[in-house]
Amino acid sequence: MADAFVLNRQDILERLGGDEEIYSMMLDMYVQDVDENCANLMAAIASGQAAEIRREAHTVKGLLATFSDDSGAAKAFAVEQQAKAGDLGGLAEAAAVLAARMREVAAVLAAARAAG
């Protein structure tokens, strides 16, 4: 993805009803779980099972949407829809792009957390 993720804390808080505690909890969970979520996506791709790929892409879509990453969520949605259609061609590359995006988001969130 060509566009860099930019944290918009206000948008995220609005999605979470303004709850700072939930924001903090979600941020921590995302950063802690990013490697596992990436591994799950890659394992789904390796399985060649469309339903598993669709499920993991849907999870990624939700995670990225939570943090107002519309571009990343759209890419995850495209993978989800492609798997739903049973077209598994090119999904390994798409999953690698998604995993990189998820890690980019995690790095931005971790930096924001460290900054206070």
The per-residue pLDDT for range 14-73, each reduced to its tens digit, is 988 999 999 999 999 999 999 999 999 999 999 999 999 999 999 999 999 999 999 999
Question: Quick check: 70 and 62 in contact, CB under 8 A?
Answer: no
Separation CA 98–CA 78 (nearest Å): 11
Tokens of 97: 């792009």
Q: Which amino acid is at 40?
A: N
pTM as predicted: 0.91
Measured CA to CA in angstroms, residue 77 lies from 14, 61, 65, 66, 111 at distances of 22, 6, 10, 14, 27
What phi and psi values does residue 60 have, to the nearest 5 degrees?
Answer: -60, -45
pLDDT (0 to 100) of residue 107: 97
CATH fold for domain 13-115: Four Helix Bundle (Hemerythrin (Met), subunit A) (1.20.120)
